[in-house]
């Protein structure tokens, strides 16, 4: 039998391997193949001697991505501006790193976006724009259309987040209220070539959804954007300026976002560097190196966090009821959701682990880890948490009732009391959440 401490050590090592596989710096270095003044990216060649290289972008992984570009291209980089989340910055030479708010855009983000748009003025056909995008880009790269204030845009975003709107619904609105989303950056960068290097935090990695698709064609319409407002009955709860703009677009008074057949995308090269499947594959390989039989259940796990946690725990208990020649590692990735019912503190990964802990009570030789690859789970400083068959009883000894904490959405304080939180600090990457179950 594997000891609890051995399972914990293995789980943390496997999680670390997943983070290393989605290392933004290494991903960018691998993507940029340079031979003297020729840059090859994803099968296309760019002549660095003929034009300027401008670097822009936004996201939690922006700092290491920018550092990689500078190390790869050196003095070929003329200027740059990349927006990162507060406390996610780093050291760069030519590329300016601007810190801003997430998940709600703030004035620093708008100011940085204006700086980015300014860098894209008066470009020539021989110029090259490198756009670095990663998780958090939708909030960090924002400049509302002129008829909508940032406060109004924030009010809409907040209302949508509370309503339970999906990321696709949220982005359909964002793209139709922004100067830079939904292909807006590609439009500003004309006639230069654009290469977007993308670290995906969206299930399935649709280019028009990641960071709200600033360099990708947008298939959504003003009609769909207004339908989201109606679906969640937000018309009377959001600023009138937003409804007025969408209705003008519906009447054809404002041009829609650029669509897939727009010729401006002929000079745009969008490249996915890494996503959740990258992390899961690396975790599976690390598990096999430690003697586990590894199985990836899904890389697109969605739904209520507590239900997923219970399901994973039950699957693990079923495995233990059989004669297994090797220890097992079950892996899943995705982005669960939490329906807020209480007033506690936590995130989807911690809530998933707490629900699993109840299901695992008394089970031997099983451990579950769930954590966000960005190092931040909800509004907390924890990436996630670890649960096993002893979690509920250890809490009970301390006078803590797992069910009460779960009902109050207070998973953070529950696991904090047990020293079972996973604290990584900012990882400077973001490829959704990783869930792993070890069966010794």
Confidence at residue 118, expressed as pLDDT on a 0 to 100 scale: 98
What's the whole-number mean pLDDT along residues 87-99?
96
Chain centre distance of CA 319: 31
Q: Beta strand 328-334 with 77-85: parallel, antiparallel or unpaired?
A: unpaired
Whether the CB-CB separation of 154 and 178 falls below 8 Å is answered with no
Cα angle for residues 40, 25, 279 (degrees, 5° grid): 105
What pTM, to 2 d.p., does this model score? 0.89
Confidence at residue 103, expressed as pLDDT on a 0 to 100 scale: 85
Local confidence band at 324 (pLDDT 50, 70, 90 cut-offs): confident
Whether the CB-CB separation of 291 and 326 falls below 8 Å is answered with yes
Residues in the chain: 440
- 421 Cβ neighbours under 8 A, 6+ residues apart: 350, 382, 384, 385, 412, 415
Confidence at residue 213, expressed as pLDDT on a 0 to 100 scale: 95
pLDDT at 275 over 70: yes
Confidence at residue 1, expressed as pLDDT on a 0 to 100 scale: 61
User: Which helix (H) or strand (E) element contains residue 179?
Assistant: none
What's the whole-number mean pLDDT along residues 331-336?
95
User: Which helix (H) or strand (E) element contains residue 183?
Assistant: none
Whether the CB-CB separation of 385 and 11 falls below 8 Å is answered with no
- Residue percentage of the chain with pLDDT more than 70: 100
- Helical residues (DSSP H) of 221-303, grouped into ranges: 222-231, 240-250, 276-289
Confidence at residue 363, expressed as pLDDT on a 0 to 100 scale: 94
- 150 Cβ neighbours under 8 A, 6+ residues apart: 105, 106, 107, 110, 142, 144
Instruction: Match 């470009």 to its residue by tokens.
Output: 123
- Helical residues (DSSP H) of 134-221, grouped into ranges: 137-140, 150-163, 167-175, 184-189
**pLDDT tens for residues 57-70?**
999 999 999 999 99
- Residue percentage of the chain with pLDDT more than 90: 88
**pLDDT tens for residues 209-263?**
899 999 999 999 999 999 999 999 999 999 999 999 999 999 999 999 999 999 9
**pLDDT tens for residues 371-424?**
999 999 999 999 999 999 999 999 999 999 999 999 999 999 999 999 999 999
Q: Enter the tokens of residue 363.
A: 């089970």
pLDDT at 321 over 80: no
**pLDDT tens for residues 362-380?**
999 999 999 999 999 999 9
pLDDT at 165 over 90: no
pLDDT at 163 over 90: no
């Amino acid at each position: 039998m594997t000891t609890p401490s051995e399972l914990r050590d293995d789980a943390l090592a496997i999680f670390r391997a997943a983070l290393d596989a989605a290392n933004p710096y290494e991903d960018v270095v691998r993507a940029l193949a340079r031979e003297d003044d020729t840059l090859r990216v994803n099968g296309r060649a760019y002549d660095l001697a003929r034009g300027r290289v401008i670097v822009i972008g936004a996201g939690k992984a922006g700092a290491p991505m920018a550092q990689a570009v500078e190390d790869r291209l050196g003095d070929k980089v003329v200027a740059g501006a990349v927006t990162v989340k507060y406390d996610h910055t780093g050291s760069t030479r030519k590329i300016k790193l601007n810190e801003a708010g997430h998940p709600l855009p703030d004035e620093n983000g708008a100011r940085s976006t204006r700086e980015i748009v300014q860098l894209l003025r008066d470009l020539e056909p021989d110029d090259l724009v490198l756009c670095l995008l990663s998780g958090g880009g939708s909030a960090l790269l924002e400049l509302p259309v002129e008829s909508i204030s940032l406060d109004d845009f924030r009010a809409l975003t907040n209302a949508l987040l509370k309503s339970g709107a999906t990321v696709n619904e949220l982005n359909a609105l964002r793209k139709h209220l922004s100067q830079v989303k939904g292909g807006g950056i590609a439009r500003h960068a004309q006639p230069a070539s654009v290469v977007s290097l993308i670290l995906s935090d969206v299930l399935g990695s649709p280019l028009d959804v990641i960071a709200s698709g600033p360099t990708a064609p947008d298939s959504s319409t003003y009609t769909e954007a207004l339908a989201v407002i109606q679906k969640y009955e937000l018309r009377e709860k959001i600023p009138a300026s937003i409804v007025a703009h969408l209705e003008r677009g519906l009447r054809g008074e404002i041009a829609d976002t650029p669509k897939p057949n727009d010729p401006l995308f002929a000079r745009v090269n969008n490249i996915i560097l890494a996503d959740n499947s990258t992390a899961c594959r690396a975790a599976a390989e690390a598990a096999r190196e430690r003697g586990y039989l590894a199985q990836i259940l899904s890389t697109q796990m969605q739904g209520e966090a507590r239900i997923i946690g219970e399901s994973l725990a039950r699957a693990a208990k079923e495995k233990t009821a059989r004669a297994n020649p090797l220890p097992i590692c079950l892996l899943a990735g995705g982005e669960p959701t939490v329906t807020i019912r209480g007033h506690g503190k936590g995130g989807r990964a911690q809530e998933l682990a707490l629900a699993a802990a109840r299901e695992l009570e008394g089970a031997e030789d099983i451990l579950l880890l769930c954590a966000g690859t960005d190092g931040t789970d909800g509004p907390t400083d924890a990436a996630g948490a670890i649960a096993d068959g002893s979690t509920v009883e250890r809490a009970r000894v301390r006078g803590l009732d797992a069910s009460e904490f779960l009902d109050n959405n207070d998973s953070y304080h529950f696991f904090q009391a047990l020293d079972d939180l996973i604290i990584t600090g900012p990882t400077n990457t973001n490829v959704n959440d990783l869930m792993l179950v070890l069966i010794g």
